[in-house]
Amino acid sequence: MTTTAKVSMAIGRAELEWAKTLARREGKSLSAIVTESLAERRRLAALAEVVAWMAEAQAPLTDDEVNAAQRELAAERKPAKGAPGRTKKSRRSMPRRRG
């Protein structure tokens, strides 16, 4: 169960108007918009910590190893010659988009 606390805070007028508009558009309360924004900020901070941690570690694979793995994966995706697989449609056989 989530607990809440009632607080008073100062917020810039432009940010307040934007948040109110967003709340109306999404059918939410201003409190919900602020809470979601703070939760997103917390999530981004956690991701930044993970990225910083990963940057400290040595890469597990060399560039040559990564390139070899990418070539192998690309080769696996291509159907063998003569094997049934996806065929490309010509532009003429595709319906035209009207815009």
| pLDDT tens digits, one per residue of 33-85 | 999 999 999 999 998 888 887 777 766 777 887 888 888 878 776 655 554 44
Q: How much is the pLDDT for 86?
A: 47
Q: Which of 14, 11, 33 is nearest to 22 (CA)?
A: 33
This prediction has a pTM of: 0.53
CA-CA distances (angstroms) from residue 38 to 11, 27, 31, 35, 44?
A: 14, 18, 11, 5, 10
**92 lies in some domain:** no
Q: How much is the pLDDT for 71?
A: 86
Show the domain range for 66. Answer: 13-74
**47 lies in some domain:** yes
**24 lies in some domain:** yes
pLDDT tens for each residue of 88-97: 444 445 455 5
**68 lies in some domain:** yes
**80 lies in some domain:** no
**18 lies in some domain:** yes
**22 lies in some domain:** yes
